[in-house]
Copies of this chain bind each other. A is one copy, B any other.
């Protein structure tokens, strides 16, 4: 599907359940594909954001990979311009880099998030991305 308003139902993997923790701003759905364990050390989940939804600033001690499967979104590293994301994009998030990701203001957004080297530690969640921060993003193009 190429619509920006698909709502996550048309993606390859299930939309899953609405996330209820405090690390997201706006409605986000998560379907775990592989749970956290010490055999693969690579938990992965399908994450769907409604328009404007995003996660807090955070850090992965072992890094993470995002595979974008639908919609349009943003990836922001501290101190860098925002990167616009769309279907087929890959984001390599280095260990210890402070960042956030989420949907654009006019599109739903779905990615597979693959956490890597999780034996190096749990995700460190930081402050929310305020509306002011979100509204003032500068695109990298």
Please, how many angstroms separate the alpha-carbon atoms of A36 and B94 in the complex?
14
Please, how many angstroms separate the alpha-carbon atoms of A69 and B87 in the complex?
13
Protomer copies = 2
A65: Cβ under 8 A from any B Cβ: yes
A61: Cβ under 8 A from any B Cβ: no
A107: Cβ under 8 A from any B Cβ: no
With a CB–CB cut-off of 8 A, which chain B residues contact A139? none
Asked whether, in the complex, the Cβ of A42 is within 8 Å of the Cβ of B114, the reply is yes
Q: List 15 A-B contacts (CB under 8 A).
A: A12-B12, A12-B69, A12-B70, A13-B67, A13-B88, A34-B92, A40-B116, A40-B117, A41-B116, A42-B42, A42-B65, A42-B117, A44-B65, A44-B114, A112-B112
Contact partner, A90, options B33, B39, B63, Cβ 8 Å: B33
**Which of A40, A69, A95, A112 gathers most chain B CB within 10 Å?**
A40
Q: Mark A36-64, 1 if CB is under 8 A from B, else 0.
A: 00011110100000000000000000010
